Amino acid sequence: MRFVMAGVTAPSHVYPGLGLIAELVARGHRVTYVVGDRLAELVAATGAEVVTHDSVMPGADEHWPDDVGEAMQVFLDDAMTVLPVVLGIDRPDAVLYDIGGFAGRVAAHRWNVPAVQLSTAYVAWEGMAEEMAEFDEQVKASPSGARYYATVRAWLDENGLGLDADEFLGSPPACVVLIPRVLQPNADRVADRYVFAGPCIDPARRTGWTPDPGDDRTLVYVALGTSYTQRPDIYRACIDGLAGDYRVVLATGKVDPAELGPLPDGVTAARSRPQLDVLEHASVFVSHAGMGSAAESLWFGVPTVLVPQAVDQSTNADMLVSVGTGVRPAEPWTAGSLRAAVDEAAAKAGRAAQVRAEVRRNGGVARAADAVERLSGENGVRGADTR
C-alpha cells in the first residue's frame, strides 16, 4: 500500500510512531512522511520517504504559549501551512496522521481515501464531552479560543468538511493508540474503533549506551522531556537528595549542565540522553510524566517519581499512580521529598514488572502495523466518515 503520514514537528509526537513507520516500510509498504525539516533526519532512519516543510511549531529552545487557545492555535496554524504540501503528493491508498496532524484528515477527505489517526495521547471516551463541557466553554469564550474555533470552522468549510469542529478535533474515524491501555482514563468507556497498540519502540533510537562499569548502586534516571525542561531546581534537588546512595543520570534539556556546578561521584549530566538505553538499566525514573515517557516507563518496567509540569502531564501522573508504578510527591519538590519518593518508587519494582509484562503482551509494533493495514484496507473508513 501507499501511505502518506502527516506528522507534527515535535519530538514528543514523532518518537512514539517511528517504530510503526519502520515496520510498515519493512512490510513492503511505501510511506511518505510529511514533517518539518528540523526532524527530517529522525524520520528518514525509518526508511520512509520524507517530505519536509518549514514548520511553525516551536523548537526545543523556544517558548510554548501558556494560554490554552494560543497553544491550540499553533497546531492549527501548522496544519494549515502543511495542507498544500500534503496535497502536492500523489494520491495515496490511505492517510495516517498524528493527533495534531489535522492536515492529514483534511487531505484524506479531499482524496476520498481511508484515514487512520495515530494517537500519541489518550483518546476520547463516552461522556467525555459532557464532563469537559465547562472547561471547553471557558476556552471557547476566551479571545484566543474564539479565534481558534472560528479558524477551524472556516478551514473545514473551505475544504468541504461539514463536520462539527469538536467532532473533527476529537472523534477520528479510525485510530491506533500508541499508549498502553492502562494509561487511558475511563478505558472501559472508549469506543471499539480505537485500537490500543501501546508503545512502538523504535530500535533505531538505541545507541548501545550502558552505565560505566564498577558501580553497583541503584541507577536513577532524571529527565523532563523536551519542552518543559528549564528546571535547574529539580535537577539540583535530585543531585542533593540522591548523590552518594544512588547513581544518577541526568538529562537537562534546556539547562546547561555547567549551571548545576560540580557533580558528586556517581552523578552525570548532559542535555540529552538515549532514553531507551538508560531506561533499560534504570531502577527509578524521575519524570515530568509526558505521555511518551510515561508509556516508555511501563514498557521497560521502571517505577516513576512524577513531577508534572504542564498540559496532560498531571493526568498522566495520576494514571501512573493509579496503576501502582508511580509516586507523586507533593510540592515543593525538595532534596528530602524527592529522595523519599525515589525510595518509595524503588519498592514498586515488582508491580512495575507485572505491568511491563501486560503492556508487552497486549501491544507493540506488530499489533500497531496489523491495525493500520486492516483499517486502511479497501473497506477502511474515509477521511470525513465517522462510522
C-alpha cell at 288: 515530568
C-alpha cell at 213: 562499569
pLDDT at residue 366, rounded to an integer? 94
pLDDT at residue 382, rounded to an integer? 57
SS3 387: coil
- pLDDT at position 33 over 70: yes
pLDDT at residue 311, rounded to an integer? 72
pLDDT, one tens digit per residue, over 364-380 is 899 999 999 999 985 55
Q: Which fold has domain 205-361?
A: Rossmann fold (3.40.50)
The residue among 79 and 60 whose pLDDT is bigger is 79
Domain 2-200+364-375 and domain 205-361 have a common topology:
yes
Please, is 350 exposed, middle or buried when counting C-beta atoms within 10 Å of its C-beta (0-12, 13-18, 19+)?
Answer: exposed
Query: How many angstroms from the chain centroid is the CA of residue 302?
Result: 18
- pLDDT at position 171 over 50: yes
Strand partners, 32: 4, 49
pLDDT, one tens digit per residue, over 84-133 is 999 999 999 999 999 999 999 999 999 999 999 999 988 989 999 899 89
- pLDDT at position 60 over 70: no
Strand partners, 115: 95
Amino acid symbol at 124: A
pLDDT at residue 294, rounded to an integer? 93
- pLDDT at position 226 over 90: no
- pLDDT at position 309 over 80: yes
- pLDDT at position 232 over 60: yes
Whole-angstrom Cα distance, residue 383 to residue 98? 14
Q: What is the CATH architecture of 2-200+364-375?
A: 3-Layer(aba) Sandwich (3.40)
- pLDDT at position 146 over 90: yes
pLDDT, one tens digit per residue, over 177-205 is 999 999 998 999 998 889 999 888 888 88
Please, is 40 exposed, middle or buried when counting C-beta atoms within 10 Å of its C-beta (0-12, 13-18, 19+)?
Answer: middle
Percent of the chain residues topping a pLDDT of 90: 76
Whole-angstrom Cα distance, residue 119 to residue 129? 18
pLDDT at residue 387, rounded to an integer? 36
Helix or strand holding residue 11 (H, E): helix 11-26
- pLDDT at position 331 over 70: yes
CA nearest neighbour of 98 among 182, 3, 17: 17
For the chain, which residues make up each domain, given as ranges? Answer: 2-200+364-375, 205-361
Average pLDDT, integer, range 28-44 = 96
pLDDT at residue 17, rounded to an integer? 93
